[in-house]
Amino acid sequence: MLKPSDKWSWYYSDREGYLMLNLGADMLFRTNLSRNLLVDCAFIENHFTVDDASDFQLYKEQIVSLPLSEPRQAELALYCIAAKRFHKPVQPKSWFFESQGVGYTPEQGSLIQLGNAFNDGVFIALEVGEHATLCAYADLVPFTLTDNKALEFGQVIKVMHDRMSAANTVCFTQQMAMVS
């Protein structure tokens, strides 16, 4: 099991073309954030902070309920932290998703459900705003946005709250039979 450490550090690798996390002991984690997605401060070495460790714990507590292996859970949690801290601000792209009719405002770390004509998927809330939330896709099967565009595991998108519903009530409820 991966445990956060104050010895970890974020840095941008020109060779890899992505933001990296040095985990020490000759272990590196490559995020899914390329140069064009990063804020300026991502291009200097940044220590893994107490806030990063707190976010790691928050995301892991939610992700554990998803059908992902432990290494994939850790990968998703690290993608989430990297995106929350270093992703450039983006505008909502809500047109890819169907309206739920009401505004659901998640909390950071909440699992949310988004859907469209192609599929439904589970996302995790990273940065909650007044009307929209930056969220990361939390499934291994690509989420189809259009005929030629899809979100991959851990990729982020900002979505208006009227497109969201709570995943714990939509995805994880089990059918029960009443027996007497």
Buried residues in 53-74 as b, exposed as e (16+ CB within 10 A): bebbebbbebbeebebeeebbb
Among residues 59, 86, 113, the one where a domain terminates is 86
Residue 4 forms part of a structural domain: no
The answer to whether 42 and 86 have CB atoms below 8 angstroms apart is yes
Give residue-wise pLDDT tens across range 60-84.
999 999 999 999 999 999 999 999 9
Is 166 found in the same domain as 100? yes
Give residue-wise pLDDT tens across range 132-173.
999 999 999 999 999 999 999 999 999 999 999 998 644 443
The pLDDT confidence band at residue 1, using thresholds 50, 70 and 90, is: confident
Indicate left, alpha or beta for 152 from its phi (over 0: left) and psi (-120 to 50: alpha): beta
Residue 1 forms part of a structural domain: no
Is 142 found in the same domain as 104? yes
Residue 61 forms part of a structural domain: yes
Is 81 found in the same domain as 14? yes
Is 166 found in the same domain as 99? yes
Residue 46 forms part of a structural domain: yes
Residue 101 forms part of a structural domain: yes
Among residues 53, 86, 119, the one where a domain terminates is 86
Domain with 69, as residue range(s), is: 9-86
Residue 135 forms part of a structural domain: yes
